[in-house]
Homo-oligomer: A and B are copies of this chain.
Amino acid sequence: MSTTAPGSAYTPTERTVPTRHRKRAAYDRELVHAILDDGCVCHLGFVRDGAPVVLPTLYARVGERLYVHGSAGSRPLRAAGGDEGLPVCLTVTHLDGLVLARSAFHHSVNYRSVVVHGTAHRVTDPAERATALDAIVDQAVPGRSADARPADDRESAATAVIALDLEEVSAKIRTGGPNDEPEDLELPHWSGVVPVRRTYGVPVPADDLAPGVPVPDYLAAL
Protein backbone atom coordinates (compact mmCIF):
# COMPACT_ATOMS: atom_id res chain seq x y z
CA MET A 1 0.00 0.00 0.00
CA SER A 2 2.80 2.38 0.87
CA THR A 3 5.60 3.40 -1.47
CA THR A 4 7.48 5.50 1.05
CA ALA A 5 10.81 4.54 2.56
CA PRO A 6 10.88 1.85 5.27
CA GLY A 7 10.25 3.29 8.68
CA SER A 8 8.21 6.24 7.56
CA ALA A 9 5.01 4.24 7.34
CA TYR A 10 3.21 1.47 9.21
CA THR A 11 3.05 -1.84 7.39
CA PRO A 12 -0.50 -2.59 6.27
CA THR A 13 -2.00 -5.86 7.50
CA GLU A 14 -5.11 -7.78 6.56
CA ARG A 15 -7.12 -5.92 9.17
CA THR A 16 -5.78 -2.45 8.43
CA VAL A 17 -6.61 -2.58 4.72
CA PRO A 18 -10.27 -1.61 4.31
CA THR A 19 -12.56 -3.48 1.96
CA ARG A 20 -13.91 -0.19 0.63
CA HIS A 21 -12.67 3.37 0.07
CA ARG A 22 -9.10 2.06 -0.03
CA LYS A 23 -7.92 5.37 -1.41
CA ARG A 24 -8.87 6.97 1.90
CA ALA A 25 -6.59 4.67 3.88
CA ALA A 26 -3.11 5.90 4.83
CA TYR A 27 -0.22 4.44 6.77
CA ASP A 28 2.15 7.39 6.91
CA ARG A 29 3.66 7.67 10.38
CA GLU A 30 3.69 11.46 10.58
CA LEU A 31 0.12 11.64 9.41
CA VAL A 32 -1.00 9.08 11.99
CA HIS A 33 0.86 10.96 14.72
CA ALA A 34 -0.72 14.27 13.68
CA ILE A 35 -4.24 12.82 13.86
CA LEU A 36 -3.56 11.24 17.25
CA ASP A 37 -1.97 14.43 18.58
CA ASP A 38 -5.02 16.49 17.58
CA GLY A 39 -7.29 14.72 20.08
CA CYS A 40 -7.48 13.60 23.66
CA VAL A 41 -10.53 11.28 23.71
CA CYS A 42 -10.39 7.89 22.03
CA HIS A 43 -12.84 5.01 21.82
CA LEU A 44 -11.34 1.87 23.27
CA GLY A 45 -12.82 -1.43 22.16
CA PHE A 46 -12.29 -4.79 23.82
CA VAL A 47 -14.10 -8.09 24.17
CA ARG A 48 -15.86 -9.03 27.40
CA ASP A 49 -17.64 -12.37 27.73
CA GLY A 50 -17.44 -12.70 23.96
CA ALA A 51 -19.20 -9.40 23.26
CA PRO A 52 -17.73 -6.10 22.12
CA VAL A 53 -17.44 -3.13 24.49
CA VAL A 54 -16.57 0.40 23.34
CA LEU A 55 -15.78 3.04 25.95
CA PRO A 56 -14.65 6.64 25.51
CA THR A 57 -11.50 7.45 27.45
CA LEU A 58 -8.59 9.85 27.55
CA TYR A 59 -5.32 8.83 25.92
CA ALA A 60 -1.85 10.13 25.16
CA ARG A 61 0.79 9.37 22.54
CA VAL A 62 4.44 9.17 23.56
CA GLY A 63 6.53 8.24 20.55
CA GLU A 64 5.26 4.95 19.19
CA ARG A 65 3.18 4.10 22.24
CA LEU A 66 -0.30 5.08 23.35
CA TYR A 67 -1.34 5.24 26.98
CA VAL A 68 -4.77 4.99 28.56
CA HIS A 69 -5.43 5.28 32.26
CA GLY A 70 -8.25 4.47 34.57
CA SER A 71 -9.24 3.20 37.94
CA ALA A 72 -7.08 0.30 39.06
CA GLY A 73 -10.34 -1.54 39.71
CA SER A 74 -11.88 -1.09 36.27
CA ARG A 75 -12.60 -4.30 34.39
CA PRO A 76 -10.61 -3.70 31.19
CA LEU A 77 -7.60 -2.35 33.04
CA ARG A 78 -7.57 -5.35 35.34
CA ALA A 79 -7.81 -7.62 32.29
CA ALA A 80 -4.82 -5.88 30.71
CA GLY A 81 -2.81 -6.69 33.81
CA GLY A 82 -2.68 -10.39 32.99
CA ASP A 83 0.31 -11.97 31.29
CA GLU A 84 -1.42 -12.09 27.95
CA GLY A 85 -2.62 -8.51 28.06
CA LEU A 86 -5.89 -7.32 26.60
CA PRO A 87 -6.60 -7.34 22.84
CA VAL A 88 -7.96 -3.90 22.00
CA CYS A 89 -8.87 -1.63 19.14
CA LEU A 90 -8.27 2.03 19.88
CA THR A 91 -9.89 4.54 17.54
CA VAL A 92 -9.56 8.32 17.35
CA THR A 93 -11.87 10.31 15.07
CA HIS A 94 -12.09 13.98 14.15
CA LEU A 95 -15.17 15.21 12.32
CA ASP A 96 -14.10 17.99 9.94
CA GLY A 97 -17.12 18.66 7.77
CA LEU A 98 -20.59 17.70 6.61
CA VAL A 99 -20.55 16.95 2.88
CA LEU A 100 -23.84 17.74 1.15
CA ALA A 101 -24.22 16.27 -2.32
CA ARG A 102 -27.13 16.72 -4.74
CA SER A 103 -27.95 13.04 -4.23
CA ALA A 104 -28.72 11.53 -0.85
CA PHE A 105 -26.41 8.64 -1.74
CA HIS A 106 -23.30 10.83 -2.03
CA HIS A 107 -23.77 12.61 1.28
CA SER A 108 -20.72 12.07 3.43
CA VAL A 109 -18.53 13.63 6.07
CA ASN A 110 -14.99 14.88 6.01
CA TYR A 111 -13.01 13.29 8.79
CA ARG A 112 -9.65 12.05 9.99
CA SER A 113 -9.47 8.83 11.95
CA VAL A 114 -6.83 6.43 13.23
CA VAL A 115 -7.50 2.82 14.15
CA VAL A 116 -4.92 0.93 16.23
CA HIS A 117 -5.13 -2.83 16.69
CA GLY A 118 -3.03 -4.58 19.27
CA THR A 119 -2.67 -5.92 22.76
CA ALA A 120 -2.64 -3.54 25.68
CA HIS A 121 -0.41 -4.29 28.67
CA ARG A 122 -0.40 -2.83 32.13
CA VAL A 123 2.47 -0.41 32.76
CA THR A 124 4.26 -1.28 35.99
CA ASP A 125 7.54 0.64 35.68
CA PRO A 126 7.16 3.68 37.98
CA ALA A 127 9.04 6.04 35.66
CA GLU A 128 7.00 5.03 32.63
CA ARG A 129 3.80 5.31 34.63
CA ALA A 130 4.69 8.85 35.68
CA THR A 131 5.58 9.80 32.11
CA ALA A 132 2.30 8.36 30.85
CA LEU A 133 0.18 10.15 33.44
CA ASP A 134 1.86 13.47 32.66
CA ALA A 135 1.36 12.82 28.96
CA ILE A 136 -2.37 12.17 29.41
CA VAL A 137 -2.77 15.52 31.16
CA ASP A 138 -0.65 17.26 28.52
CA GLN A 139 -2.45 15.59 25.62
CA ALA A 140 -5.59 17.55 26.57
CA VAL A 141 -3.81 20.71 27.75
CA PRO A 142 -0.19 20.94 26.56
CA GLY A 143 2.00 22.25 29.36
CA ARG A 144 -0.46 21.57 32.15
CA SER A 145 1.28 18.65 33.87
CA ALA A 146 4.09 20.94 35.03
CA ASP A 147 1.50 23.22 36.64
CA ALA A 148 -0.36 20.81 38.91
CA ARG A 149 0.36 18.86 42.05
CA PRO A 150 1.81 15.46 41.06
CA ALA A 151 0.04 12.32 42.18
CA ASP A 152 0.86 11.14 45.68
CA ASP A 153 1.33 7.47 46.55
CA ARG A 154 -2.35 6.87 47.29
CA GLU A 155 -3.49 8.48 44.05
CA SER A 156 -0.84 6.67 42.08
CA ALA A 157 -1.90 3.32 43.52
CA ALA A 158 -5.50 4.00 42.57
CA THR A 159 -4.59 4.62 38.94
CA ALA A 160 -3.83 1.95 36.36
CA VAL A 161 -2.04 2.73 33.11
CA ILE A 162 -2.08 0.54 30.04
CA ALA A 163 0.15 0.84 26.98
CA LEU A 164 -0.55 -0.02 23.36
CA ASP A 165 2.25 0.05 20.81
CA LEU A 166 1.69 1.68 17.42
CA GLU A 167 2.37 -1.27 15.17
CA GLU A 168 -0.82 -2.30 13.43
CA VAL A 169 -2.16 1.12 12.54
CA SER A 170 -4.07 2.84 9.79
CA ALA A 171 -5.45 6.30 9.19
CA LYS A 172 -8.48 7.11 7.11
CA ILE A 173 -9.15 10.55 5.76
CA ARG A 174 -11.79 12.23 3.63
CA THR A 175 -11.37 15.81 2.49
CA GLY A 176 -12.88 17.99 -0.17
CA GLY A 177 -16.28 18.57 -1.67
CA PRO A 178 -19.11 16.26 -2.70
CA ASN A 179 -18.60 13.70 -5.45
CA ASP A 180 -21.85 14.05 -7.33
CA GLU A 181 -22.82 12.07 -10.40
CA PRO A 182 -22.37 14.15 -13.59
CA GLU A 183 -26.06 13.89 -14.40
CA ASP A 184 -26.96 15.38 -11.00
CA LEU A 185 -25.00 18.61 -11.36
CA GLU A 186 -27.96 20.55 -12.75
CA LEU A 187 -30.27 19.59 -9.89
CA PRO A 188 -31.44 22.61 -7.87
CA HIS A 189 -30.08 21.41 -4.50
CA TRP A 190 -27.35 23.39 -2.77
CA SER A 191 -24.18 21.36 -2.61
CA GLY A 192 -20.98 21.83 -0.66
CA VAL A 193 -19.36 21.38 2.71
CA VAL A 194 -20.27 22.68 6.16
CA PRO A 195 -16.98 22.85 8.10
CA VAL A 196 -17.04 21.37 11.60
CA ARG A 197 -14.50 22.30 14.23
CA ARG A 198 -13.78 21.68 17.88
CA THR A 199 -13.55 25.06 19.59
CA TYR A 200 -12.62 26.11 23.10
CA GLY A 201 -14.60 28.62 25.11
CA VAL A 202 -13.40 31.16 27.63
CA PRO A 203 -11.95 29.31 30.66
CA VAL A 204 -14.35 29.23 33.61
CA PRO A 205 -12.55 29.49 36.99
CA ALA A 206 -13.47 27.04 39.73
CA ASP A 207 -15.91 28.42 42.29
CA ASP A 208 -13.26 28.08 44.96
CA LEU A 209 -10.38 29.57 42.98
CA ALA A 210 -8.61 32.25 44.98
CA PRO A 211 -8.96 35.77 43.54
CA GLY A 212 -6.01 36.91 41.49
CA VAL A 213 -4.88 33.54 40.11
CA PRO A 214 -4.32 34.35 36.44
CA VAL A 215 -5.42 32.20 33.52
CA PRO A 216 -2.21 30.44 32.48
CA ASP A 217 -0.61 31.18 29.13
CA TYR A 218 -0.82 27.58 27.99
CA LEU A 219 -4.62 27.84 27.95
CA ALA A 220 -4.41 30.67 25.44
CA ALA A 221 -2.60 28.27 23.10
CA LEU A 222 -5.71 26.10 22.87
Contact = CB atoms under 8 A, between A and B. Distances in A.
A105 B208 CA distance: 18
B45 A54 contact: yes
Interface stretch (A4-12, A26-34, A134-142): A134-142
B209 A190 contact: yes
User: What is the copy number of this chain in the assembly?
Assistant: 2
A64 interface: no
B189 A149 contact: yes
Interface size class of A (residues with CB under 8 A): 35 or more
Contacts of A85: none
Contact of A95 (B55, B187, B198): B198
Nearest to A205: B192
B147 A189 contact: yes
A201 B194 contact: yes
A113 B193 CA distance: 26
Nearest to A103: B149
Interface of A: 15, 19-20, 40-41, 43-48, 50-56, 58, 70-71, 73-75, 87-91, 93, 95, 98, 100-105, 107, 109, 111, 113, 115, 117, 133-134, 137, 140-141, 144-145, 147-152, 155, 158-159, 177-178, 180, 184-210, 213-216, 219, 222
